[in-house]
Amino acid sequence: MPKIKMPMALQEALEAYRANSVQAFRFDMSVSHEPLGSALGSPSGSVKSASEALSSIFGCDRSWITSMGSTTSNHVCMAYIGRMFPGKPVLVTANPHLSLVNSAVDFNVPLRFVPIEFEPAFELPVLPSAKLVKGCLGEFPDVAAIVVTSPTYEGLNADAESITHLVRQVHPNIPIFFDNAWGWGLDTPLAHGADVVVRSSHKMDGAWQGGGVLLAQEAHVDIDVLSQCVSARFSTSQSYPILASVEMCYGLWHHFGPTLSRCFSAWSDEIRTLLADAGIEVLDEDKISQFRDSGQVAFLDKRKITFSSKPKTGFELSEVIHETAHYIPEKAGISNVTLIASLKALSLDPTEVAENILKCIDAPFPEKTKDSNSPDRSPTNMMPPLCLNKWEELRVLEAHEAVRRETERVPLEEASDRIAAELITPYPPGIPIIIPGQRITDEGIEYIRLLCSLGGDVVAEDASMKEIRVVAS
């Protein structure tokens, strides 16, 4: 990619704004200030210059900067699909973030899913191969768009190139969206044939919390309509400092990308090696070789460090690491923990980090869970119910229809066989295990109980999971 000068329009404008406002923070930074401009569908002022610079370094036709995360960008994408293809289903890999399902519900977009696999040792949702995605197009010939969520929370990357290639053999013009919230750097699925990419710049790229980008190519997307969907959803008063942090972080990637990548690899390789040498099961390329061979995974993100928490549960180990070693593990599961090599982490000595993790694995169980009355606190390799894989057999109503019916709340233990009217989502990773419109199974209820008893967090109307909302009988 040719090196271009990045003018840092927003940074300069912010500095000028600060210099001119004697006490900048006495003013409301997010109220439109003409030189800074607007981040709506057709950006203006410095936001426009920054967006154009980002389009240039990402090599795309249009880009929007947001201070409202990938959640809002996913809503923009579903709003676009709902508006362009009313009533037509969207084909989604069965590992969607809840924001995708919520927005499909809001915009009346019927959902169809490409099944995923589940690797129990490291609790990995494994993406579908391109062949499987193509096969599903045969099964659902009327789908209007495709959404792939890649990479996964744990850093498995889909083979974007093969997916877009095989999909285009069936539907030359279908728009292909990638929820690339966990991607990083300047390589995005756009370079491999995707049309729209959603990225959380605050997760791996180093922007401030909430920062993100929405990137688009115009070949299979009506950019004017997408832009209208942005205008209707992005705030008119976004946080300029957050927008500027997005611009800044890509300036960093543009100028120092290869160096940063090398530093991240060296940092996380050292931690992986030290943990593995101490006998801890650590996720690495070898452990996913069968998924690479089958075309389900193109590569594993080196900046994600996933390892076994046994004998503790992932939830317990995460708590000990947080309290005693002062890092926040990004994801805890039943028997694993995932850490991220963040920009800040690079300032920490990886040997010390690994030693502290090993101490945490050997440390006493956290006080809170010692007297837990859960039936079995030991980490198990229990499979999640993967209800989205079984959507065709469990679907009684479309998700958007179920939430518009009369509904009621019932105790979880009485919910078997009822039709769900809400999303139930273990968080992280944020992939729903129950969605509106599906018949609730015993297996689903059992898994929710297990998660709650082990200390996992579930996003639901009643987070204690005593009750669940269902379609009224």
Ligand X SMILES: Cc1ncc(COP(=O)(O)O)c(C=O)c1O
Looking at beta carbons, which residue is closest to ligand X?
69
Q: Which is nearer to ligand X, 151 or 455 (CB)?
A: 151
Joined together, the tokens standing for residue 195 give 């049309």
Q: Name the residue nearer to ligand X (CB basis): 379 or 432.
A: 432
Give me the least distance between CB of 101 and ligand X, in Å please.
Answer: 11
d(CA 93, CA 95): 6
The separation between CA 324 and the C-alpha centre of its own chain, rounded to angstroms, equals: 28
Between β-strands 117-119 and 176-179, what pairing exists: parallel, antiparallel or unpaired? Answer: unpaired
In the complex, least distance from residue 364 CB atom to ligand X, rounded to whole angstroms: 31
Q: How many CA atoms lie within 13 A of 176 on its CB side?
A: 29
Residue 69 is a binding residue for ligand X (CB under 6 A): yes
Rounded CA-CA distance 273/263 in Å is 15
**99 binds ligand X per the rule CB under 6 A:** yes
- Total residues in contact with ligand X, by rule CB under 6 A: 14
Q: Nearer Cβ to ligand X, position 90 or 412?
A: 90
125 binds ligand X (CB under 6 A): no
Least gap, CB of 393 to ligand X (angstroms) = 25
Report yes or no: 435 and 101 within 8 Å, Cβ to Cβ. Answer: yes
Start-to-end C-alpha separation, the chain: 59
Regarding 181 and contact with ligand X (CB under 6 A), the answer is yes
For residues 54 and 39, give the distance between their C-alpha atoms in angstroms, rounded to a whole number. Answer: 13
430, 432, 444, 455: residue in contact with ligand X (rule CB under 6 A): 430
Distance of closest approach, residue 179 Cβ to ligand X, in angstroms: 5
Does residue 179 bind ligand X (CB under 6 A)?
Answer: yes
- Quick check: 425 binds ligand X (CB under 6 A)? no
* Coarse DSSP helix, strand, coil percentages of the chain, rounded to the nearest 5 percent: 40, 15, 45
CA dist., res. 211 & res. 244, Å (int): 9
Q: Which is nearer to ligand X, 193 or 428 (CB)?
A: 428
Beta bridge partners of 114: 93
Nearest to 268 by CA among 348, 212, 156: 348
**Among the candidate windows 37-45, 53-61, 67-75, 267-275, which touches ligand X by CB under 6 A?**
67-75
Is residue 43 part of the contact set for ligand X (CB under 6 A)? no
Query: Is position 329 an interface residue for ligand X (rule: CB under 6 A)?
Result: no
Q: Does 200 bind ligand X (CB under 6 A)?
A: yes
Residue 342 touching ligand X (CB under 6 A): no
Q: Is 272 in the site for ligand X (CB under 6 A)?
A: no
Say if residues 159 and 129 touch (Cβ distance below 8 Å). Answer: yes
Query: Which of 119, 269 has the CB closer to ligand X?
Result: 119
Helix (H, G, I), strand (E, B) or coil at 49: helix
Q: Which residues bind ligand X (CB under 6 A)?
A: 69-71, 74, 97, 99, 149, 153, 179, 181-182, 200, 212, 430
